């Protein structure tokens, strides 16, 4: 890493990786740059500066919301077969064994772009723009309260607590469901306000049928479903934006399951719980799970 001009040492890491970024392979293995830095520190008793080119702990880190948004858009536009061109990242951190969790650090300065990037990159969760705005406000409250950063894992936990998990006080808990063969009717085994009930609804699909079964003044404004992975382990993520009579504005709910119908039912129950909490004047921090 170079120890000053009196030692006569060129910084071989910076020199080699400068060459690498220009398309010249230095024939040196820096695929685990963090280990290289730790060994150098142990041998020399000299710390590697957090902003040291390529090797510093913070060299790829973006805290600013505008920087994070630019990185997210750069990744979205990057052709995997083209030259690397992502703003603020002269090299793909993965080439050096760095995770994208270390690139985007979430704190009170972070915007929706960085948050959305981490959830999409690490968990396959792609949120609609309005949902990004909604969830970023939840993250901001959390980071303001803790006065610190939020790791990628903590961010995922918060997303699950906000949209996927059922708190003890959830107004609606769905235990099971059964969709008719024609897809136009559904039976729900639910607990509503502490009372176990068996409900049936009709509609032009599982979303409409579930809303009908619950008998709520719910208006679904947006629905989307996508896979969060590939192969046998892929799960369906259903996202619903809905409004309720007596509640200002709309909000989002989500469901995740290997079964598309189950994910859709979960999403409706999730958004219904969140709207019910808003109607009662309770800040929504978590909602529902459904079998």
Q: Name the more confident of 17 and 184.
A: 17
Cβ–Cβ under 8 Å, residues 167 and 178: no
> What pLDDT score does 92 carry?
86
Strands 218-227 and 236-244: antiparallel
**Model confidence pLDDT, tens digit, residues 115-163:** 888 888 888 899 999 999 999 999 888 888 877 778 778 889 999 999 9
pTM (two decimals) = 0.71
* DSSP summary character for residue 122: H
Q: Is 20 helix (H, G, I), strand (E, B) or coil?
A: helix
Q: Is the pLDDT of residue 97 over 70?
A: yes
Q: What is the pLDDT of residue 3?
A: 67
List domains and CATH numbers for the chain: 1-59 (no CATH), 64-164 (no CATH), 166-279 (3.30.160.270)
pLDDT in tens, 220-231: 999 999 888 777
pLDDT grade for 71, boundaries at 50, 70 and 90: confident
**Residue 243 burial (10 A CB sphere; 0-12, 13-18, 19+):** middle
Query: Does residue 282 surpass a pLDDT of 70?
Result: no
Confidence check: pLDDT of 284 > 60: no
Question: Would the CA dihedral through 121, 124, 129, 134 be positive or negative?
Answer: negative
What's residue 4's pLDDT?
Answer: 61
**What are the E-state strand segments in the chain?**
172-179, 185-192, 195-202, 218-227, 236-244, 250-257
């Amino acid at each position: 890493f170079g120890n000053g001009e009196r030692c006569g040492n060129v910084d071989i890491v910076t020199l080699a990786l400068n060459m690498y970024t220009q398309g010249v392979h230095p024939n040196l293995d820096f695929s685990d740059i963090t280990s290289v830095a730790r060994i150098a520190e142990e041998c020399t008793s000299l710390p590697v500066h957090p902003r040291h080119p390529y090797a510093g702990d913070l060299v790829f880190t973006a805290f600013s919301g505008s920087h994070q948004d630019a990185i997210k858009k750069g990744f979205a536009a990057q052709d995997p077969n083209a030259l690397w061109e992502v703003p603020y990242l002269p090299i793909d951190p993965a080439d050096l064994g760095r995770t994208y969790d270390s690139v985007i650090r979430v704190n009170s300065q972070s915007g929706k772009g960085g948050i959305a990037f981490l959830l999409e990159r690490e968990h396959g969760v792609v949120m609609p723009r309005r949902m990004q705005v909604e969830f970023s406000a939840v993250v901001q409250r959390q980071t303001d309260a803790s006065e610190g950063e939020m790791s990628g894992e903590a961010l995922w936990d918060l997303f699950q607590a906000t949209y996927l998990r059922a708190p003890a006080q959830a107004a609606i808990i769905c235990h099971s469901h059964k969709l008719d063969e024609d897809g136009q009717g559904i039976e729900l085994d639910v607990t509503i306000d502490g009372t176990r009930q068996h409900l049936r609804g009709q509609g032009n699909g599982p979303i409409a049928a579930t809303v009908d079964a619950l008998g709520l003044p719910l208006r679904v404004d947006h629905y989307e479903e996508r896979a969060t992975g590939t192969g046998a382990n892929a799960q369906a993520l259903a996202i619903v934006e809905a409004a309720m009579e007596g509640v200002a504005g709309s909000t989002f709910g989500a469901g995740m399951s290997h079964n598309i119908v189950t994910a859709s039912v979960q999403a409706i129950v999730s958004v219904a719980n969140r709207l019910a909490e808003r109607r009662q004047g309770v800040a929504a921090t978590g909602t529902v799970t459904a079998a």
